[in-house]
Amino acid sequence: MLLRFVTRVLLCVLVLVSAGCSSTGSSPEKALATVQEAKLPAEARQTLRLIDRGGPFPYAKDGTVFGNFEGLLPAEKRGYYREYTVPTPGSRDRGARRIVTGEGGEFYYTDDHYDSFRAVLR
């Protein structure tokens, strides 16, 4: 009887530990979707060229710190990420599209104002 109880407890512990180590969870560290640079809208490719050249940028907010408050990008210290506007044709303001860069050379694209990101493959 005691042996059966101990076996069940150990089995439960094993299941809980393995579930906590699973890479299929919804943590921000899971792999992001990707997009080839060539598949981005023309305006996003132009923004990437401006970033590569160091500007000049058309919007005052371009190059400012992106806080990653949504937690969708890998966790880094404040100031690690910068954001840049990707113009949206016909929009009367900056629109929802952005390129976010990381100090390590990463590039991310969002077309829904930070609800989702795709890593840009260059």
Positions marked active-site: 83, 113
Which positions ≥6 away from 74 have C-beta within 8 Å?
A: 28, 29
**H helix or E strand, kind and range, residue 75:** none
Omega within 30 of 0 (cis) for the link into 56: yes
**DSSP per residue over 17-61, as a string?**
HHHHT-TTS--TTSPPEEEEGGGS-HHHHHHHHHHHHT---SSTT
